[in-house]
Amino acid sequence: MNLRLALSCVLYLLAAPVYALLGVRKLGKMLRARRVLAAGTIRCPHCAAVNDLDILGTCSNPKCRTTEYGSRLRCSVCGETVKSFDCDACGVTIKVL
């Protein structure tokens, strides 16, 4: 029983740095997403046009298809979320989240 406990402790100690590194990476992605969402706009990487995140948009879910003012990244009716959208000016896909 003690050997099994000791091996488990060693395994957790070896895995801890990996989980810490993955946590730091995920935190960085979350902070970037928060900055973008708080700004309310995002620049197109291709044409540098400013795209608003709050517009009159239609839900991408084929069962919902609700058109409403609000975030183009999330439907308030069905909860569908998208991670990218097409630029209003040039049509290039902009990955947000």
Sketch the domain layout of the chain as residue ranges.
Answer: 1-39, 41-97
Alpha-carbon distances of 61 from 22, 25, 31, 81, rounded to whole Å: 31, 30, 27, 9
Find, among 51, 97, 78, the residue nearest to 68 by Cα: 78
pLDDT digit string (tens) for 8-23?
Answer: 999 999 999 999 999 9
pTM of the model: 0.60
Predicted pLDDT at 1: 65
Polymer length in residues for the chain:
97
pLDDT digit string (tens) for 62-91?
Answer: 888 888 888 888 888 888 888 888 888 888
pLDDT digit string (tens) for 27-55?
Answer: 998 898 888 878 888 888 889 889 888 88
